[in-house]
Structure 1
Amino acid sequence: MADLTLINDADESQLPHCGNCDRPVYESSRFCSHCGHAIILSSESSTEEKWRAIKQAALFFAIHAVACCVFSFVDYFKTFTWSIVIDVFLAAVAVVFFFINWSKLKSVFLWHSFSVLKLLGYCAIAVGGSFVVNFVVRWLNRSLFSTDFSYYEFYASHKNSVVLAIFFVAVMPALFEELGYRGFLLGKLMLVTDTKQAIFISSFVFAIMHRSVISLFWLIPFALLLGHVRTKEKTLWYGVCMHFCFNFTAIMLEIIQWNHHL
């Protein structure tokens, strides 16, 4: 069994990883020193596996791009009902792509060395960032467009508007965007390129899919942070909680501001 101190001293991004817990291991190891899983690994993905990863990532991107363009540029689909349909469709796409690759990606559902303090720290960063972004975006919208933009306005006229807004703005993105972008897409890109480049590419794709040029200044850093946390902690769950806290704070601020102006 490999010596943990040797693994810690090596460049982990260059080492093969356990298929069960995604921790770095030596090729000579017969069992993972972290979870005890039997190791059958090579130092790098085969050309066929890399090509398959590229094709799947490209298809995932294409489906999201078409869905986002249809909703943004075709007037017929710019309704509340179609917004819900497209959100559910993209959530289903994330689930399908992830579970097609379940054997390779399932380790991100594990929560290695769970720490309440670490979770609270990550969530505090997300909440604080959301307050800052809300203030800056409101200032930019007023300065550049002389208006206030609110996601909550889209839900305000519907019954149970607060519940709908929280579910579709905070809950669904936290679960399914993390599953799709930090689960599937980042995992596939890490088979093709190094970890840092994979984080940047997946973050850029995540940002542009939100279809808001003015929001790129915070979407890209936020996605980079989520990607970093996902690869550092070897789990999706810290990122899911951060994403929820960020979006929940944002939508609650909008709800408070909306009711204040009534």
Structure 2
Amino acid sequence: MICPACNHNNHPNARFCSHCGGELSAPVYVATRDMGSITKTVVFFVVMVVFIVSLYFIDINSNYANIILANIVFSLIVLVFFAMDFRDTLNVLKFKDPEPMLMTALATGAPVFALGVFFFVDYLNKNIFDIYIISEYYLFIDSPAPLLLALISTAVFPAIFEEIAFRGVLFNMLEPFAGKTPTIFITAIMFSTIHFSLISLLWLFPIGLLFGYLRARHNTLWYGIIGHFLYNSSVVLYGVLLA
């Protein structure tokens, strides 16, 4: 390791010059690492945006096969980024000693919150926007198992792969140089904006903050995955039972 101040040749792993005492590789390494993380973050977000925007040009809701295909493509994109950050993301997929109180809070809070959002959106659509939005269930009505496929597409796939994408891969990219709290906010912003629905920011951003906080505090994605699944599946079921 060559000292930039005095050109003394030091041990390759040295942090300080043995001749003049100057700091060696740490600043360069940190800057390089941070730039790499920033680049990966930008690439990740751009790929997600391009994928979501492309769905608007293929009429994804024209048949249930398109929806399933879109889910599969999204999952493959996430798995590619997962492979690039395999070890760190795999670590947060571990689930040791789940807290009963927290699990109970998720099991009760997610459906209740989903019910509030359901009635709020229903009111807006009927009284403000004067439109009628059909439940995800009816997008699969021509399929062999409408409710099952609606739950898999709307609850299972997003719960697993969106959490891996935003609270797993993206969180791991951002935290080393942004810090824990800013990363929670940034991932929540990206998670909510990627849905391309301005009004849904009212509930998606708080959900993103909560799941980001749980991931940071407990170092696992599973609380977010469980909460995400319960919320989305509740919305689907309310659309069938209460619409």
| Same fold, TM-score > 0.5, yes or no | yes
The corresponding residue for 1:195 is: 180
Written as runs of structure 1 = structure 2, the 5 A alignment for 1:1-262 is 46-72=30-56, 74-75=57-58, 77=60, 79-80=62-63, 81-149=65-133, 150-258=135-243
Residues 61, 139 of structure 2: 8 Å contact kept: no
Shift of 1:209: 1.3
Residues 182, 230 of structure 1: 8 Å contact kept: yes
TM-score, length basis structure 2: 0.82
Equivalent position amino acid for 1:131 in 2: L
Shift of 1:94: 1.2
For the residues of structure 2 that align with 1:77 and 1:247, how far apart are their CA atoms? 19
Q: Percent identity?
A: 26
Shift of 1:88: 1.0
Residues 226, 239 of structure 1: 8 Å contact kept: yes
After superposition, the CA RMSD in angstroms is: 2.0
Residues 138, 146 of structure 2: 8 Å contact kept: no
Equivalent position amino acid for 1:84 in 2: I
Residues 230, 239 of structure 1: 8 Å contact kept: yes
Structure 1 residues 117, 86: CA separation in 2 closer, same or farther (over 3 Å shift)?
Answer: same
Report SS of the residue matched to 1:223. helix
Equivalent position amino acid for 1:79 in 2: S
Larger Rg: 2
Structure 1 residues 254, 198: CA separation in 2 closer, same or farther (over 3 Å shift)?
Answer: same
Gap regions ≥5 residues in structure 1: 1-41
Aligned length: 215
For the residues of structure 2 that align with 1:62 and 1:179, how far apart are their CA atoms? 17
Equivalent position amino acid for 2:231 in 1: F
Give a deviation string over 1:166-194, Cα, whole Å, max 9, x none: 10001111111001111111121112202
For the residues of structure 1 that align with 2:241 and 2:60, how far apart are their CA atoms? 28
For the residues of structure 2 that align with 1:257 and 1:104, how far apart are their CA atoms? 42
For the residues of structure 1 that align with 2:98 and 2:60, how far apart are their CA atoms? 42
TM-score, length basis structure 1: 0.76
For the residues of structure 1 that align with 2:127 and 2:189, how far apart are their CA atoms? 26
Equivalent position amino acid for 2:102 in 1: K
Residues 112, 233 of structure 1: 8 Å contact kept: no
Deviating above 4 A after TM superposition, structure 1's stretches of 4 or more consecutive aligned residues are 75-78
Residues 70, 77 of structure 1: 8 Å contact kept: no
Shift of 1:111: 1.9
Gap regions ≥5 residues in structure 2: 1-25
Shift of 1:131: 1.0
Shift of 1:120: 1.6
For the residues of structure 1 that align with 2:114 and 2:61, how far apart are their CA atoms? 26
For the residues of structure 2 that align with 1:156 and 1:213, how far apart are their CA atoms? 28
